[in-house]
A and B are shown apart, each in its own frame.
Chain A
Amino acid sequence: MSSAQANTATPAGQQKTGEIRLVDITKKFGHSYAVQNINLTIPHRSYCCLLGPSGCGKTTILRMIAGHEPPTSGQIYIGDKIVAGKSPVERGTAMMFQSYALFPHLSIADNVGFYLKMRGVGKAERRDRVEEMLKRVQLDQFRNRMPSQLSGGQQQRVALARSLITNPEVLLLDEPLSALDEFLRLRMRGELRSLQTELGITFVHVTHTQPEAIALADMVVVMDTGRIDQADTAEMIFNRPKTPYVARFMGGQNVLTGLVEGHAGGLVRLRASGGSIFEFPLDGPPPANGQPISIAVRRDHVRLARQASDLAGKGINEIAGAVTATEYQGSYVKVTLDIGNGLFVANVTDRDYSAEPVVHGDRAVASWKAADVHTLAEIDTGAAADFDFDASN
């Protein structure tokens, strides 16, 4: 998991040619909005992942940056220049398509050299530059093969070579790892990251796989139905989600809501509708009494114990429920509790679980520390309460 800050420092005096700024971008298809009022700055030389489920608009944003789709309103700046009306090459972007889109009638060498041919570069120079690029992706011995003769991973490297030969400032990747099998996907992940560091250009990578995003990106942009929910480093997204959606989607965190009862001793107290009491450290001006607040607790910060008596589970930062499912995941067991008005999930380490195993039907008490509670900026409406977004996916 990458916790490195984006290396956006550029030598003094050099232009931030790979910086992308979206200002008030909206895209409408017919009567429906694909994205609405998007404002985003992707730093120069960063690895940025656009993350979200299908239909959230991430691919639309990618295509607008590329120049394949014009925004309905708003402006896009690449390297501080407005790019409206400019072709991808003029913008300094290159796109890697999800299906790779390798020209089936051209050899690998001709595919990679396509850009040069369109610009009228001479045959000899073309051959040399193509050869150099093919060596870089270790495909030089395949130069005369046809795309259909290559494996998926090899085809992807050809697509990469074809895009990189245009010397782009920004490389746009549309779900590049989705078509690969598990092993190849993990290996290519590492290769993409080292490639980006080596090239020193901006990468914008669209994905729906959360572990991929937090593994690769300096900046993760979590999207939901046409809006950006949170754009931050992977660590901030994972540990300090802003909204219930991000909390659930990213870390599979538990979201609870309560009304403020008061504060004392540096802790704010919330009372939930079921009678549970939650406390978390006060940070900044105290919230007004009666105000609703939603909190998030990471699944792996929860301790689980069998409910000894009916009175147990009524303490602070505790909640009781019936076990509805247990799922073995190797180093931990995912235990789902029905707490009455929803579900609550604890990832119990395998050691703790073997010490005190709970099974379907048991009543258990989940507890956590006040310091592990994170307040969300939005109140949970209960929408998109999808507990299937597991960090292990």
Chain B
Amino acid sequence: MTPGPEANQKSLLSTYLQVTPLTLVMLLFFVVPVALVVLVSFFRYQMLVGIVPQFTLKNYIDLITNPTTWSLYLSTVKFTLIVLAITFVLGFWVAYFLVFHVRNLLTAIGLFLVCTVPFWTSNIIRMISWRPVLGKEGLINTALLQSGIIAEPLDWLLYSDFSVVVAYVHLFTLFMIVPIFNSMARIDKSLLEAAVDAGATRWGVIWNVVLPLSKTGIALGALFVVTLVMGDFFVVSVMSGGLSGSATTGIFNDLQFLNYPRAAASAVILLIIVLLIAASIFRLVDVRKELVK
């Protein structure tokens, strides 16, 4: 738009200035910290002394050879997969309903906002608000008892794997809905009509047209859900009443004892796994093209 090569150089300089604040913040509060975590994970920890800057692989060896680490990761992966499946099904159908069944665009946006509003409130509050609902004297049990469906209150509703999954789904389904909604809304409606013209059934249209075209949204949603569940430590500890652990439990414990090097090593292992999952999802989807549309 601005002509002349000299103006081009000027605008290049201003471009770099414009992205400088972002870059600085990212450097100082993200790149450097992560780098330091990796660094510290190779240091030694001495009781009562603290971090000793001596290169060692002991932390990693300890963690990898410790069966607890594996069982914790297994538990986390189990939760992740279950939550992923449920949030995907829920997220897909809610998005599908909003995009294809709601006729008025304004209504669709309104309903979409209704789903997102809880996201803007405190996660912790939303989590603990399940306690009076799922508890032994809580809403569900009271209703079931009073209507005579059960004789004794169900104790597996709260402080169990069930409540952990419920909380995860409650908190993170939105992260599935938004990208899938976004992808679906971009689908040209005439493609669906063309499919019907060609003889596709209701389900056929979904399987052959809607699903493939929402792939990007699904991938992004999956990415978010996986990283959020794997990196979580407070939902699982509160909702399981301390009975279940996750990959982050180990980090938590080490930090309590100020064993930063081993906590860092745990963190690095977690990070690598999450990044591997992210990378494989990025393979399926050109993220930059999608997000910078």
Question: Is B199 an interface residue, CB under 8 A from the partner?
Answer: no
Contact bitstring A44-84, B, C-beta under 8 A = 1, else 0: 00000000000000000000000111100000000000001
How far apart are B181's CB and chain A's nearest CB, in angstroms?
25
Residue picked from A67, A68, A69, A70, most chain B C-beta under 10 Å: A70
Query: In the complex, which residues of chain A have a beta carbon less than 8 angstroms from the beta carbon of B148?
Result: none
Interface residue tally on A, bucketed by range: under 10
Query: Which chain A residues (118-162) contact chain B, with CB distance < 8 Å?
Result: none
Query: In the complex, which residues of chain B have a beta carbon less than 8 angstroms from the beta carbon of A70?
Result: 3-4
Compute how far the CA of A84 lies from the CA of B4 in the bound complex, rounded to whole angstroms.
8
Nearest opposing residue in chain A for B6, CB measure:
A85
Contact bitstring A250-283, B, C-beta under 8 A = 1, else 0: 0000000000000000000000000000000000
Contact bitstring A71-101, B, C-beta under 8 A = 1, else 0: 0000000000000110000000000000000
How far apart are A199's CB and chain B's nearest CB, in angstroms?
27
Question: Is B1 an interface residue, CB under 8 A from the partner?
Answer: yes
Query: In the complex, which residues of chain B have a beta carbon less than 8 angstroms from the beta carbon of A85?
Result: 3-4
Dominant SS at the A interface? loop
Nearest opposing residue in chain A for B8, CB measure:
A70
Compute how far the CA of A67 lies from the CA of B1 in the bound complex, rounded to whole angstroms.
8
How far apart are B3's CB and chain A's nearest CB, in angstroms?
4
Query: In the complex, which residues of chain A have a beta carbon less than 8 angstroms from the beta carbon of B3?
Result: 67-70, 84-85
Compute how far the CA of A67 lies from the CA of B3 in the bound complex, rounded to whole angstroms.
7
Compute how far the CA of A68 lies from the CA of B4 in the bound complex, rounded to whole angstroms.
10
Nearest opposing residue in chain B for A69, CB measure:
B3
Compute how far the CA of A70 lies from the CA of B3 in the bound complex, rounded to whole angstroms.
5
Nearest opposing residue in chain A for B3, CB measure:
A70
Compute how far the CA of A85 lies from the CA of B3 in the bound complex, rounded to whole angstroms.
7
How far apart are A59's CB and chain B's nearest CB, in angstroms?
15
Query: Which chain A residues (340-381) contact chain B, with CB distance < 8 Å?
Result: none
Contact bitstring B25-51, A, C-beta under 8 A = 1, else 0: 000000000000000000000000000
Compute how far the CA of A282 lies from the CA of B127 in the bound complex, rounded to whole angstroms.
96
Compute how far the CA of A40 lies from the CA of B4 in the bound complex, rounded to whole angstroms.
22
Nearest opposing residue in chain B for A68, CB measure:
B1
Query: Which chain A residues (284-322) contact chain B, with CB distance < 8 Å?
Result: none
Nearest opposing residue in chain B for A64, CB measure:
B3
Query: In the complex, which residues of chain B have a beta carbon less than 8 angstroms from the beta carbon of A68?
Result: 1, 3
Query: In the complex, which residues of chain A have a beta carbon less than 8 angstroms from the beta carbon of B1?
Result: 68
How far apart are B20's CB and chain A's nearest CB, in angstroms?
28
How far apart are B1's CB and chain A's nearest CB, in angstroms?
6
Compute how far the CA of A130 lies from the CA of B3 in the bound complex, rounded to whole angstroms.
30
Contact bitstring B1-28, A, C-beta under 8 A = 1, else 0: 1011000000000000000000000000
How far apart are B11's CB and chain A's nearest CB, in angstroms?
13
How far apart are A305's CB and chain B's nearest CB, in angstroms?
48
Compute how far the CA of A105 lies from the CA of B67 in the bound complex, rounded to whole angstroms.
63
Compute how far the CA of A68 lies from the CA of B3 in the bound complex, rounded to whole angstroms.
7
Nearest opposing residue in chain B for A67, CB measure:
B3
How far apart are A30's CB and chain B's nearest CB, in angstroms?
15
Query: In the complex, which residues of chain B have a beta carbon less than 8 angstroms from the beta carbon of A84?
Result: 3
Compute how far the CA of A379 lies from the CA of B28 in the bound complex, rounded to whole angstroms.
69
Query: In the complex, which residues of chain B have a beta carbon less than 8 angstroms from the beta carbon of A69?
Result: 3
Compute how far the CA of A69 lies from the CA of B3 in the bound complex, rounded to whole angstroms.
6
Query: In the complex, which residues of chain A have a beta carbon less than 8 angstroms from the beta carbon of B4?
Result: 70, 85
How far apart are B289's CB and chain A's nearest CB, in angstroms?
20
How far apart are A202's CB and chain B's nearest CB, in angstroms?
21
How far apart are A269's CB and chain B's nearest CB, in angstroms?
55
Compute how far the CA of A35 lies from the CA of B3 in the bound complex, rounded to whole angstroms.
17
Contact bitstring A176-210, B, C-beta under 8 A = 1, else 0: 00000000000000000000000000000000000
Nearest opposing residue in chain B for A71, CB measure:
B3
Compute how far the CA of A70 lies from the CA of B1 in the bound complex, rounded to whole angstroms.
9
Nearest opposing residue in chain A for B4, CB measure:
A85
How far apart are A189's CB and chain B's nearest CB, in angstroms?
30
Nearest opposing residue in chain B for A70, CB measure:
B3
How far apart are A341's CB and chain B's nearest CB, in angstroms?
40
How far apart are B12's CB and chain A's nearest CB, in angstroms?
16
Compute how far the CA of A67 lies from the CA of B4 in the bound complex, rounded to whole angstroms.
10
How far apart are B6's CB and chain A's nearest CB, in angstroms?
9
How far apart are A10's CB and chain B's nearest CB, in angstroms?
29
Compute how far the CA of A69 lies from the CA of B2 in the bound complex, rounded to whole angstroms.
8
Nearest opposing residue in chain A for B1, CB measure:
A68
Nearest opposing residue in chain A for B7, CB measure:
A85
Contact bitstring B82-110, A, C-beta under 8 A = 1, else 0: 00000000000000000000000000000
How far apart are B19's CB and chain A's nearest CB, in angstroms?
25
How far apart are B13's CB and chain A's nearest CB, in angstroms?
19
Compute how far the CA of A70 lies from the CA of B8 in the bound complex, rounded to whole angstroms.
11
Supply 5 further A-B pairs (C-beta < 8 A) apart from A70-B3, A84-B3, A85-B3.
A67-B3, A68-B1, A68-B3, A69-B3, A85-B4
* Nearest 5 CB-CB pairings of A with B: A70-B3, A85-B4, A70-B4, A67-B3, A68-B1
9 A-B pairs whose Cβ atoms sit less than 8 Å apart in the complex: A67-B3, A68-B1, A68-B3, A69-B3, A70-B3, A70-B4, A84-B3, A85-B3, A85-B4
